[in-house]
Amino acid sequence: MAVATLLATIASGALIGLVLGLVGGGGSILAVPLLVHGVGVTSAHTAIGTAAVAVAANALAGLVGHARAGTVKWRCGLLFAAAGMIGAAAGAEIGKAVDGQRLLMLFGLLMIGVGLSMFRKRRGAEMPDVRLSRDTARHLVPRLIPAGLGVGLASGFFGIGGGFLIVPALIAATRMSLPQAAGTSLVVVSALGATTAGSYALSGYVDWRIAGLMLVGGVGGAVAGIALGKRLAARKGLLERLFAVVVIAVGLYLIVAR
């Protein structure tokens, strides 16, 4: 691997980690564009598979901290993840069958849609003490399973962690608080990322060297992002809007440059 490629890979991982630390999600959606246009991965399918590996590993690392903080609703997250893994497996198979250039165009359209959705105000939770039990199952299960299947399908198809989709889906299905949804989403991101990564890896669409280097950069970027995020906590709304603009711009670039 050339030095320039090595540095670009680490820098890409650092940027993703920085965004995750600052905004609390959404960094994984930049992984595929960075791998294709920054690192120089020529195959869209390899970029998606490699990104999925990095996303799953980063999510597992983040889950440890949230579990210690008590912000993970394990039963809701595991049920959502189980349904999502089925969707992710199907989505990954469909994605591998789609032409690489068309896949990038669809990914660009998804980024534009996600970026626009970030300008919508999130509504606060009404049931922070919600939990999946025998009494609540009849209300929660019919909401969690379809949401998990839909998010998993998108996650597998595009090779993304889907945190930006999972968090609002969990809130809509259970009305848990935003911090709880953010923590619980990492259970799902880990499972969906692993499912997608496994499917692409079996087809030979993962560059393990690049995935490892992205993780190295991601750790450093996340530490910096968390520290900077604490200093800019009062301006988090502005940061999220700026990130939304970046996501939309990258989506437009993918469509035009494909």
Q: What is the pLDDT of residues 241-254, one digit of tens each?
A: 777 787 788 788 77
Structurally, the chain folds into a number of domains equal to 1
Q: Reply yes or no on whether the pLDDT at 236 is more than 80.
A: no
Predicted local confidence at residue 221, as pLDDT: 82
> Cα separation of 16 and 34, whole Å?
9
Both tokens of 163, joined, read 């945190």
Both tokens of 124, joined, read 């606060």
* Domain coverage including residue 225: 3-257
Per DSSP, the chain holds a count of helices (H) and strands (E) of 10, 0
Choose among 58, 72, 50, 5: nearest CA to 222: 58
Predicted local confidence at residue 86, as pLDDT: 94
Between these two residues, 253 and 198, which has the higher pLDDT value? 198
Helix 236-257 to helix 3-23 angle (10° resolution) is 140
Q: Reply yes or no on whether the pLDDT at 125 is more than 60.
A: no
Between these two residues, 100 and 78, which has the higher pLDDT value? 78
Q: Reply yes or no on whether the pLDDT at 200 is more than 80.
A: yes
* Highest mean pLDDT out of 4-13, 59-68, 109-118: 4-13
Distances (CA, A) of 110 to 83, 104, 123, 143, 252: 21, 10, 22, 23, 10
